[in-house]
Amino acid sequence: MDLFKKTAFELHNLLKEKSVSAEEICKSVFSKINEVEDKVKSYVTLTEDLALKKAKEVDEKIKNDEEISPLSGIPIAIKDNMCTKGILTTCSSKILSNYIPIYSSTVVERLFEQDVVMVGKTNMDEFAMGSSTENSSFGPTRNPVDLGRVPGGSSGGSAAAVAADEAIIALGSDTGGSIRQPAALCGVVGMKPTYGLVSRYGLVAFASSLDQIGPITKDVTDCAILLNHIVGYDSKDSTSIKTEAPDYTKALVNNVKGLRIGVPKELMAEGIQPEVKSAVENALKVLSEAGACVEETTLPHSDYALSAYYIIAPAEASSNLARFDGVRYGYRTKESDDIIEMYKKTRSEGFGKEVKRRIMLGTYALSAGYYEAYYGQAQKIRTLIIDDFNKAFEKFDVLIFPTSPTVAFKIGERVSDPLQMYLSDVCTIPVNLAGLPGISIPCGKADNLPIGLQIIGKSLNEETILKVAYTFEQNFSLKA
């Protein structure tokens, strides 16, 4: 039995029945890692000894007839920008290549309390800045569907690990689409929760007003299960929302009768690959046949989202990354005559090209003479985008459009053209600017490459998104 192919939900049932052991599941996943990791390169750090130790602890609990959680013994991959006590956390950057945190992020602590088995830390675009996982100081991750193509980014390592069966579930972070876009390109499920629903404490910050941690899984059921165990208020995070989180698995109902779906015309227009548009239109037909009401709508300011994002995100990054200076932790240059030269050389040698580019853009946008002209204007656009979504949700329960305008592109194809790379996130960025929840689920293929369907809901309305995603998953699988 290839246990690595199964979902967390299926494995949990097998563990409860005592049909398999957590150790067997763990060894099965590591056998798959040994088989494909040299080609895919999903991981920066593997933690096999720690994983096997935890798996044996779970087996002991099962042997003693102790209660286990739905995630007990389930192998998970963690994106390498979430702090893990005593385990390397590099953000795929040279400047943090030797950084071992003395504490764990809140999400990691919550998952460890559920006895998950951590397989390792996944590769990513350096400091989560990128859309292809090519901007890593450890080299690119490859898409398991086609090794000549990118897995998306910045959570490409996590998405590739799940798609390649090198992990059963994974965590990613989403600043401008960094969970949903790689999930779409790798053919798995990825969700960005409402901003503030999941604690960011212990997540190495890129853009603090945009970053959000979320699940990457093989299906919608696993997504709801993992979400259940990472949400919740955290006093250590000043942006954490005080709200009672429901049991998201109760939203997994195959029923969208009477549900109102809006399709923003701006995000189904020019620039969307014809096969992607066709697959999304087919998905809308599936939901319409299931009883949903589908209608075109408008998000008039979404055309400005990309421009606003690439001012706001670099501005916040330039501030957040100022702490990496070679003084307190991480890489420090070996040769310098004084502290100023040490700062310059450490940051010059420690950061990659894309990170430097965004720090410079952000510092310029925040400078005294240009603050209002750039950063101030971008924040005004952000408010208009939020208003557009609010107006749309007065009429619709969810909005649906593509996750990525294209299928996975070839490795190296867009590295020398940053603007073309930035356009990869044109469909996901508006959602981050508005702080809304969104999910990407597979909805078809073009040239045998996965296409993602993006479902967006009102703030704190993850349940409706999951219901629509689950209904589509159930009905589409019957027709596929």
Contact 103, 202 (CB under 8 A): yes
For 351, phi and psi rounded to 5 degrees?
-95, 150
Convert the pLDDT of each residue in 185-242 to its tens digit. 999 999 999 999 999 999 999 999 999 999 999 999 999 999 999 999 999 999 999 9
Q: What DSSP line would sit under 211-264, residue for residue?
A: -EEEEEESSHHHHHHHHHTTBS--TT-TT--------GGGG--S--TT-EEEEE
Catalytic residue among 104, 154, 173, 318: 154
Q: Kindly report the CA angle at 118 between 117 and 119, in degrees rounded to 5? A: 110
Structure tokens at 284: 């809308």
Cis omega (within 30 of 0) on the bond before 154? yes
Label residue 386 exposed, middle or buried (CB < 10 Å: 0-12, 13-18, 19+): middle
Convert the pLDDT of each residue in 300-337 to its tens digit. 999 999 999 999 999 999 999 999 999 988 999 998 98
Question: Which amino acid is present at 259?
Answer: L
Convert the pLDDT of each residue in 27-69 to its tens digit. 999 999 999 999 999 999 999 999 999 999 999 999 999 999 9
Label residue 287 exposed, middle or buried (CB < 10 Å: 0-12, 13-18, 19+): buried
- Residue 36 half-sphere exposure toward CB, CA atoms < 13 A: 23
Which residue from 216, 256, 246 is spatially nearest to 42, judged by alpha carbons? 216
Rounded to whole angstroms, the Cα distance separating 170 from 215 reads: 6
Question: Which amino acid is present at 72?
Answer: S
- Kindly report the pTM of this predicted structure: 0.97
Structure tokens at 25: 């599941």
178 is catalytic: yes
Mapped onto helix, strand or coil, the DSSP state of residue 145 is: coil
Query: What's 373's DSSP letter?
Result: I
Structure tokens at 7: 């979902």
478 pLDDT tier (thresholds 50, 70, 90): low
Which residue from 314, 159, 303, 251 is spatially nearest to 457, judged by alpha carbons? 251
Structure tokens at 257: 């009768």
Contact 115, 126 (CB under 8 A): no
Convert the pLDDT of each residue in 405-430 to its tens digit. 999 999 999 988 888 899 899 999 99
Does residue 269 surpass a pLDDT of 90?
no
What pLDDT does 324 receive? 95
The residue assigned the tokens 């999304």 is: 280
CATH classification for the domain delimited by 1-300+378-480, as one of 3.30.43.10, 3.30.360.10, 3.90.1300.10, 2.60.120.430: 3.90.1300.10
288 is catalytic: no
Which residue from 302, 234, 220, 305 is spatially nearest to 263, judged by alpha carbons? 302
| Domain ranges across the chain | 1-300+378-480, 307-373
Phi-psi region of 115 (alpha: psi -120 to 50; beta: other; left: phi over 0): left
154 is catalytic: yes
What pLDDT does 326 receive? 92
Catalytic residue among 6, 32, 79, 467: 79
**Percentage of residues of the chain with pLDDT beyond 90:** 94
Give 464's contacts (C-beta < 8 A, 6+ positions apart): 251, 259, 397, 398, 457, 458
480 pLDDT tier (thresholds 50, 70, 90): very low
Contact 212, 162 (CB under 8 A): no
Rounded to whole angstroms, the Cα distance separating 472 from 283 reads: 7
Rounded to whole angstroms, the Cα distance separating 259 from 255 reads: 9
Which residue from 46, 58, 30, 33 is spatially nearest to 116, judged by alpha carbons? 58
Rounded to whole angstroms, the Cα distance separating 163 from 145 reads: 8
Convert the pLDDT of each residue in 73-92 to its tens digit. 999 999 999 999 999 999 99
